[in-house]
Amino acid sequence: KNFESILLTGATGYLGVHLTDELLKQTSASLYLIIRAKSNDEAEIRLKKMLDFYFGNDYYQKHMHRINILSGDLAKENIGLPDNKYHELSACVDCIINSAAIVKHFGNVTEFLDVNVKGPERLLHFAQKRRKKEVFHISTMSVVAGEILDNKPMLFTEVKKDINHIFDNVYIRTKKESEKIVIDWRKQGLNTTVFRTGMLMFHSRTGQFQQNIDENAFYRFLSSLLRLGCAPDVMLRNL
């Protein structure tokens, strides 16, 4: 679809910064990036730093004419925007891509709920204001994990939003909950799509990895195995 104006959240994250690059390359749309910061200037500095880090110096300078930066926060009402800007944006945006999330596998439950669950809810409310918007929500393949209490084999596909499985991981639990909300909003007449990403690792062409590598669960796991000099038998059998 030829969207005219795309609202992207999470643009300074590892996935979000690459989505920004792809949208600039593959579309002619104007991009509106919601970035958590105290001001638009601070948000711009954050974005420029990330884009230049992953794609080379002057990347932001070359593309800034298509990028509209807004200081906001999914954990706040009106996604952290002033009323006039919220109203103005609701009239021009025709697509929302939500890649914002707390992706750590441990932390404060309230913070996870505010960003990973209530954040998408606020975006869905925004999607209904004035110009109707299509919503693309980034989730995780990890929602297929978890424990089923009666221990019966179950088939979990992309058309199922819940098979009554439970998690001991707050990140996965909140991502599963946000999926259910995004899908339920289709009853309100919105076109919504959920994308479940797998493990995001080193870039296949450049080898570049996320700047905050120590927050990547897979890296931390492999790093621990290397330091210990051993791995569980079950892993070795599957290699």
DSSP label of 171: H
Per-residue pLDDT, averaged over 198-214, amounts to 82
pLDDT tier at 236, thresholds 50, 70, 90: low
DSSP H helices in the chain: 14-26, 40-55, 59-63, 83-92, 109-112, 118-128, 170-184, 217-228, 233-238
More confident residue, 56 or 51: 51
Residue 88 has pLDDT above 90, yes or no: yes
pTM here is 0.88
Q: What is the pLDDT of residues 124-170, one digit of tens each?
A: 999 999 898 999 999 998 888 777 777 777 777 777 666 777 777 88
Residue 237 has pLDDT above 60, yes or no: no
Q: Among residues of the chain, what percentage have pLDDT more than 90?
A: 59
Q: Among residues of the chain, what percentage have pLDDT more than 70?
A: 96
